[in-house]
Amino acid sequence: MLKIGQYEYYDINSLLDPQTQQPIVEGKIIGYGVHQGIEGNTVAEAIEQYQNNQVKLQRKAAYKEESDPLYMEFLFDESVLKKQQWKDKVTEIKQRFPLHLPLQ
């Protein structure tokens, strides 16, 4: 849930006009529940935070599936090659799932 003043919204997309994708409301936004951690002074800030949270979840899943096994191999044999493979995989995941740049 997202609160803007006295109003509550249950989906971040409901803050935008479906056709223009422009905010239909403005004000300080605070997220609760599945939107925990979202707090912005504008709808644009809140959406940026939401998008970055989604990217972080994608990264987390990719790390678990792809880079963590390489890290464990590196810890086991401590080879320079295994360490580089692990670091390369982390870099690849970050490039595949880039964070959105902050608004200026």
pTM of the model: 0.77
User: Which tokens go with 13?
Assistant: 């997309």
Q: Which amino acid is at 71?
A: Y
pLDDT in tens, 18-51: 888 888 888 888 888 888 889 888 888 888 898 8
pLDDT in tens, 54-75: 999 999 999 999 999 999 999 9
The distance of Cα 89 from the centroid of its chain, to the nearest Å, equals 19
- How far is the C-alpha of 29 from the C-alpha of 58, rounded, in Å? 24
The residue extents of the domains of the chain are: 2-96
Residue 43 neighbours by CB under 8 Å, 6+ apart: 15, 16, 23, 25, 26, 29
